[in-house]
């Protein structure tokens, strides 16, 4: 017999989410996640993937992954600290450090794991963390896990950051104070003000942490937001994922050798979770080498991003303040956002509605992510569909 209390809780709360337009329906992609996808037998132009550079389906990455399965098997077989560290993991970390311009790097099973691991390995209940109000959920959870005092500052408001940094440091309550921010904010597409953040950090001796999940492979000729601003020697933690622009799975932290040594002995996901597969490790290495060889995929991503952004803006959609290829169409009402996304699906475009709690209430939107793999014809077709539905729903 199952719990009646649990059943009542689930029934009532799921119904409430559906009524408010906050219930997320999960779709199953039948096949590869490329510029076009198939769902329920229907072909759709895919504008919801984080496969920014199209590397998730790259033939060279698939080939080296197959070779790794043959030479190293399908799994690492253990946690990294026992005998799950393969030569492929070591090579990956060398390439990441080279790519990010740091002394060393450590790889994890996911970007979420990185933030859970790295923040709590350095910060504790006697410390404080200054966190941008729009930071990713994994940053928030990593901060909570550390048990440090979390002090939010207004999104990209440097006056607020400086005032709160001054107050925290001069209070004498904390042993260490960290400032943490996304490099690129994934729902709005704006870029963190890293030069100003570094200036404030140097003034108050703050530890600096940048989550560059959506900046790596996009800014700085692919090397990320920190490289974009030329601040590799000023940021203590460069965190990123291997699952977005890199196209595979996993995450990493890059920084000074001493920091990486500490994370290897004190970050819990590294200590207690089996390493990523040989195929994932070698495919990620190949993707990073591809980006180090040429910026052509990054250039194509920006070309397509600018094209879609210009088209949507000319049609009259509110695309916010995006500074990157991430292009939101901000609608506001959650139910209207869900309806707009469903109509796009019906007409042949897959662009997912994003609502609370991923974004603040009343800022529902459809998030568009053109990739390097899209053609102009695909984007033109998507724009025509946007125009049709925007007029139909009186959004434009």
Is 100 part of the annotated catalytic residue set? Answer: no
Catalytic residue, candidates 244, 286, 309, 352: 244
Distance of alpha carbon 208 from alpha carbon 189, whole angstroms: 21
Beta-ladder partners of 182: 211
Closest CA to 341 of 395, 303, 294, 389: 389
Q: Residue 6, SS3?
A: helix
DSSP string, 344-374: HHHHTEE--EE-TTTS-TT-EEEEE---TT-
Pairing of strands 353-354, 349-350: unpaired
User: Is there a contact between 324 and 301 (Cβ–Cβ < 8 Å)?
Assistant: no
Alpha helices in 152-277 (DSSP H): 158-171, 194-204, 225-228, 257-266, 268-272
Residue 333 contacts residue 323 (beta carbons within 8 Å): no
Distance CA(171)–CA(58), nearest Å, equals 52
Catalytic-role residue among 72, 89, 100, 214: 214
Task: Judge whether 244 counts as a catalytic residue.
Answer: yes
Calpha distance 302→307 (Å, rounded): 8
- Gap between the Cα atoms of 203 and 84, Å rounded: 42
Contacts of 338 (CB under 8 A, 6+ apart): 21, 353, 355, 364
Contacts of 107 (CB under 8 A, 6+ apart): 89, 92, 93, 96, 242, 250, 251, 252, 276, 281, 284
Catalytic residue from among 48, 131, 138, 186: 186
Token code pair at residue 159: 């006056």
89 as an active site residue: the answer is no
Q: How many Cα atoms are found within 13 Å in the side-chain-facing hemisphere of 361? A: 2
Q: At what angle do helices 137-146 and 111-122 cross, to 10 degrees?
A: 30
Residues designated as active site: 186, 214, 244
């Amino acid at each position: 017999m199952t719990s009646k209390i649990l059943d009542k809780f689930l029934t009532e709360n799921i119904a409430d989410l559906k009524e408010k337009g906050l219930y997320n329906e999960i779709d199953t992609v039948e096949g590869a996640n490329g510029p076009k996808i198939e769902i329920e037998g229907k072909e759709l132009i895919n504008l919801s993937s984080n496969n920014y550079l199209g590397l998730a389906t790259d033939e060279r990455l698939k080939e080296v992954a197959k070779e790794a399965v043959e030479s190293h098997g399908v799994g690492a077989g253990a946690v990294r600290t026992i005998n799950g560290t393969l030569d492929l993991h070591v090579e990956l970390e060398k390439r990441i450090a080279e790519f990010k311009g740091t002394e060393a790097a450590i790889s994890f099973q996911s970007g979420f794991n990185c933030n859970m691991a790295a923040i709590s390995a350095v910060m504790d209940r006697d410390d404080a963390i200054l966190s941008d109000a729009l930071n990713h959920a994994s940053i928030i959870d990593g901060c909570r896990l550390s048990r440090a005092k979390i002090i939010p500052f207004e999104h990209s408001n440097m006056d607020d950051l400086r005032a709160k940094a001054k107050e925290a440091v001069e209070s004498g309550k904390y042993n260490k104070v960290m400032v943490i921010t996304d490099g690129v904010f994934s729902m709005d597409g704006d870029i963190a003000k890293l030069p100003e953040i570094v200036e404030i950090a140097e003034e108050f001796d703050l530890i600096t942490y940048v989550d560059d999940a959506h900046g790596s492979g996009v800014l700085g000729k692919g090397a990320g937001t920190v490289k974009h601003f030329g601040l590799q020697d000023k940021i203590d933690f460069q965190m990123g994922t291997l699952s977005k622009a890199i196209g595979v799975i996993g995450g990493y932290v890059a920084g000074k050798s001493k920091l990486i040594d500490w994370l290897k002995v004190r970050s819990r996901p590294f200590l207690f979770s089996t390493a990523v597969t040989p195929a994932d490790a070698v495919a990620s290495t190949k993707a990073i080498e591809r980006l180090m060889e040429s910026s052509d995929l990054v250039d194509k991503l920006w070309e397509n991003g600018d094209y879609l952004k210009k088209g949507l803006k000319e049609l009259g959609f509110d695309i916010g303040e995006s500074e990157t290829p991430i292009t939101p169409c901000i609608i506001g009402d959650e139910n209207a956002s869900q309806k707009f996304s469903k109509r796009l699906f019906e007409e042949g475009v897959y662009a997912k509605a994003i609502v609370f709690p991923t974004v603040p209430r009343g800022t529902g939107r459809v998030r568009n992510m053109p990739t390097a793999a899209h053609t102009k014809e695909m984007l033109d077709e998507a724009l025509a569909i946007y125009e049709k539905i925007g007029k139909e729903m009186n959004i434009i």
